[in-house]
């Protein structure tokens, strides 16, 4: 049933493409470039694990047919799947924290089913760079968090300058890093402007702590030391810039408070609470006194945007989220150059940056090296399994509010503005000894590994109890994965393993994994195909090779 539908979809896509694609065009003079080598299924999986919430066989076929660049172009043309409309469609509770489960639910619905997969994946990457979190002061601001995520999704292929302005003025960020309500100094009371947003905007969202070359390596001074990008005085200057902003809709700054309406609207400037003095910013740029808070903000964001660090800084962050933990300097430089100029003289074109990241040779090297790729984030391991096996509950909901506990991460559920893991994390052992990083390994602890292995075990094996829906543990929100196809072939261990390898690993499975799965599967009597299928999937999704993104 499901298979037939997917198959017919794939077939219809094939036909469509043959209709418009084939042929070649007439009799132009220069010889046509040699036809590119066909994309293999494993290559399509590699690409899709970089560009979506998990490769599926159907989408792989789509990539094979359309090829990478066309696939990216089609994806970028798709409108953003959003969260806020869904949240607003639900009855408004007295306390908005009650909608947090729905916010996480719509995140999973979009991650698993939305057809703007590339946009969703990039939005997720951005949510790990410009971090706000449900855990803390925003727990009761669910509309605001949904809208913040929508800002990231809408701007995922837009311009970084526009993105950073929307982020800066968003009440979620305003609350999370306390720019909202930040007021000009009061020398009598020893009150200075709050430095929180000023500091993290520069350290984490834009330029970082030390000056970078275009290729992402650190610039060094004559003594061989890194060069700080700013000092405390710069932070204080920016802190003065970010004064006077609060929730919109009030006459008086000091009476402003959060409502269901204003938490999704940009913060408003209350001029009387803005510091109107002169500010000296990065590189000695001066914001003149008396130009007002809006001009100050625009000038300050321009000042950051035009800092040479932004291109390599953002490029490295996005490459690490999408493709590899340890990009070569040359790869970074190629991408950062596109950030600086998209080919049409535009700086900060994130769509062009994403395209450059995904189409770079280093994203799919001919000769794979053992430092290529990255560890998948736990959430991405879960979504890949769910997409491969069409995970659904009868209600349609994904009740995964506790995502950050089960998996060590969840949508807008970081423990701090420093994200779930550090881009610089280097685990002890051969990685550190070789000066390599593996950010995702910071949360792949013994403990978190146990929890997620158990989650996979439950998701695969407990089907045996739940699938007939008579178990007392079953309810309409229970997420079930559909592996009927595996059950149907489970009497034949090799056929079963081939099928699982095809859906989860693009057809490429190591000998050890295959041998071990086969050994265990064949212990299970052939008349218990549900167990056999569950075992094959469980051992595959909990394996290092599934956790690895090539």
Partner 1 sequence: MKKLNRRQFLRSSTAAAVMAATPGLAYSQMFGSAAPFSDYRALVCVFLFGGNDSFNMLVPTSTAEYNAYAASRNQLAIAKEDLLPINPVLGAENFDFGIHPSMGGLKSLLDDGKAAFLANVGPLVVPTTRDDVFNKSVPLPPQLFSHNDQQDQWLSLKGVATSKTGWAGRIADLIRDNVVAQKMATNASLFGTNTLQSAEETIAYVMGPNGPFEFYGFSNDPETLQGQQRLAFEAIATANHGSVYERAFGDVQQRAISSADTVLGALRNPSTPTFDGLFPSSQLATQLRTVAQLIAVRDELQMQRQIFFVAMGGFDTHDDQQILQPGLLGDVSASLTAFQAALASLSVEQDVTTFTSSDFGRTLTSNGDGSDHAWGGHQLILGGGVAGNAIYGNYPVPEIGGLEDVGGGRYVPSTSADQYAATLARWFGVEEADIGAVAPSLANFNVKDLGFFNV
- Among residue numbers 439 through 468, which ones bind partner 1 (CB under 8 A)? 441-451, 453-454, 457-458, 461
Residues 37-66 that bind partner 1 (CB under 8 A): none
Q: Is 272 in the site for partner 1 (CB under 8 A)?
A: no
Q: How far is the CB of 61 from partner 1 (least distance, A)?
A: 26
Contact code string over 281-320 relative to partner 1, x by CB under 8 A: ----------------------------------------
Residues 233-252 that bind partner 1 (CB under 8 A): 235
Q: Is 471 in the site for partner 1 (CB under 8 A)?
A: no
Q: How far is the CB of 103 from partner 1 (least distance, A)?
A: 21
Q: How far is the CB of 186 from partner 1 (least distance, A)?
A: 8
> In 10 A of CB 424, how many CB atoms?
8
- Of 418, 367, 321, the closest CA to residue 125 belongs to 321
Q: Is 474 in the site for partner 1 (CB under 8 A)?
A: no
Q: Is 392 helix (H, G, I), strand (E, B) or coil?
A: strand
Q: Is 539 in the site for partner 1 (CB under 8 A)?
A: yes
Query: By the 8 A CB rule, do 93 and 388 touch?
Result: no
Location of structure tokens 């045996």: 464
Given candidates 165, 372, 377, 486, which one binds partner 1 under the rule CB under 8 A?
372
Query: By the 8 A CB rule, do 320 and 423 touch?
Result: yes
Q: Residues binding partner 1: what is the number (CB under 8 A)?
A: 86
Residues 318-347 that bind partner 1 (CB under 8 A): 325, 328
Q: Is 80 in the site for partner 1 (CB under 8 A)?
A: no
Q: Is 106 helix (H, G, I), strand (E, B) or coil?
A: helix
> In 10 A of CB 13, how many CB atoms?
15
Quote the radius of gyration of the chain (alpha carbons, Å). 25
Rounded Cα gap, residues 173 and 408, in angstroms: 22
User: What are the tokens at 391?
Assistant: 């995970």
Q: Compare residues 73 and 548 and give the one whose CB is closer to partner 1.
A: 548
Q: Which helix (H) or strand (E) holds 375?
A: strand 374-375
Q: Compare residues 355 and 376 and give the one whose CB is closer to partner 1.
A: 376
First CA to last CA distance, the chain: 32
Q: What is the rounded (10 degree) CA torsion for 423, 426, 430, 435?
A: 70
Query: By the 8 A CB rule, do 407 and 384 touch?
Result: no
Residues 493-522 that bind partner 1 (CB under 8 A): 510, 512-513, 516-517, 519-520
Query: By the 8 A CB rule, do 440 and 421 touch?
Result: yes
Given candidates 34, 36, 345, 544, which one binds partner 1 under the rule CB under 8 A?
544
Part in contact with partner 1 (CB under 8 A); list of ranges 6-14, 389-397, 437-445, 471-479: 437-445
Q: Is 269 in the site for partner 1 (CB under 8 A)?
A: no
Residues 160-219 that bind partner 1 (CB under 8 A): 177-178, 181-183, 189-196, 199, 203, 209
Q: Compare residues 351 and 423 and give the one whose CB is closer to partner 1.
A: 423
* Bridge partners of residue 375, in order along the sequence: 548
Location of structure tokens 């200057």: 237
Q: How far is the CB of 139 from partner 1 (least distance, A)?
A: 13
- Of 321, 417, 432, 435, the closest CA to residue 377 belongs to 321
Q: How far is the CB of 206 from partner 1 (least distance, A)?
A: 14
Q: How far is the CB of 368 from partner 1 (least distance, A)?
A: 6
Part in contact with partner 1 (CB under 8 A); list of ranges 100-108, 228-236, 294-302, 341-349: 228-236
φ/ψ of residue 246, rounded to 5 = -155, 180
Residues 128-147 that bind partner 1 (CB under 8 A): 136-137
Q: How far is the CB of 32 from partner 1 (least distance, A)?
A: 34
Q: Is 422 in the site for partner 1 (CB under 8 A)?
A: yes
Question: Mind giving me the DSSP string for 410-473?
Answer: -TT--SSTT-SS-TT---TTHHHHTT---GGGGS--HHHHHHHHHHHHHHHHTHHHHTTS-STT
Part in contact with partner 1 (CB under 8 A); list of ranges 4-12, 337-345, 485-493, 538-546: 538-546
């Amino acid at each position: 049933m499901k298979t037939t539908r997917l198959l017919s979809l794939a077939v219809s896509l094939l036909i469509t493409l043959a209709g418009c694609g084939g042929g070649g065009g007439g009799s132009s003079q220069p010889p046509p470039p040699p036809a590119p080598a066909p994309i293999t299924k494993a290559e399509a999986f590699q690409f899709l694990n970089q560009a979506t919430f998990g490769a599926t066989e159907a989408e792989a076929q789509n990539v094979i047919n359309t090829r990478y660049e066309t696939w990216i172009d089609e994806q970028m043309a798709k409108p953003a799947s959003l969260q806020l409309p869904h949240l607003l469609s639900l009855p408004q509770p007295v306390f908005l924290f009650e909608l947090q489960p729905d916010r996480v639910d719509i995140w999973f619905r979009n991650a698993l089913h939305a057809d703007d997969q590339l946009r969703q994946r990039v939005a997720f990457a951005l949510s790990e760079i410009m971090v706000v979190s449900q855990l803390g002061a925003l727990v009761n601001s669910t509309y605001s968090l949904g809208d913040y995520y929508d800002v990231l999704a809408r701007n995922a292929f837009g311009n970084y300058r526009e993105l950073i302005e929307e982020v800066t003025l968003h009440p979620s960020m305003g609350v999370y890093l306390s720019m909202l309500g930040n007021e000009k100094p009061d020398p009598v009371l020893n009150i200075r402007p709050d430095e929180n947003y000023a500091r993290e905007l520069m350290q984490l969202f834009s330029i970082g702590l030390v000056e970078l070359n275009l290729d992402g390596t650190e610039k060094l001074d004559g003594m061989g030391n890194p060069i700080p990008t700013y000092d405390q005085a710069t932070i204080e200057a920016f802190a003065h810039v970010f004064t006077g902003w609060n929730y919109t809709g009030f006459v008086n700054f000091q009476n402003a408070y959060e409502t269901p309406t204003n938490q999704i609207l940009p913060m408003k400037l209350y001029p009387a609470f803005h510091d109107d003095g002169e500010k000296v910013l990065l590189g000695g740029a001066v914001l003149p006194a008396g130009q007002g808070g809006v001009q100050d903000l625009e000038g300050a964001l321009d000042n950051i945007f035009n800092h040479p660090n932004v291109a390599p800084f953002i490029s490295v962050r996005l490459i690490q989220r999408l493709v590899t933990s340890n990009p070569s300097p040359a790869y970074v430089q190629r991408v950062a150059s596109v950030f600086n100029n998209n080919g049409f003289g535009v700086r900060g074109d994130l769509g062009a940056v994403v395209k450059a990241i995904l189409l770079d040779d280093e994203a799919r090297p001919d000769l794979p090296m053992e430092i290529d790729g990255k560890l998948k984030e736990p959430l991405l391991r879960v979504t890949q399994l769910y997409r491969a096996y069409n995970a659904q509950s009868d209600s349609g909901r994904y009740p995964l509010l506790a995502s950050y506990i089960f998996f060590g991460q969840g949508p807008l559920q970081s423990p701090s503005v420093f994200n779930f893991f550090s881009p610089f994390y280097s685990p002890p052992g051969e990685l550190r000894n070789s000066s390599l990083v593996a950010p995702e390994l910071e949360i792949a602890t013994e403990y978190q590994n146990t929890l997620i292995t158990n989650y996979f075990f439950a998701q695969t094996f407990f089907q045996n109890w739940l699938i007939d829906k008579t178990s007392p543990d079953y309810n309409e929100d229970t997420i079930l994965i559909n592996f009927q196809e595996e059950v149907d072939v489970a009497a034949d261990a090799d056929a079963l393993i081939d099928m699982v390898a095809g859906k989860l690993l693009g057809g490429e499975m190591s000998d050890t994994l295959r041998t071990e799965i086969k050994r265990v599967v064949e212990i299970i009597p052939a008349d218990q195909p549900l167990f056999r299928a569950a075992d094959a999937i469980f051992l595959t999704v909990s394996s290092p090779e599934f956790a690895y993104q090539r």
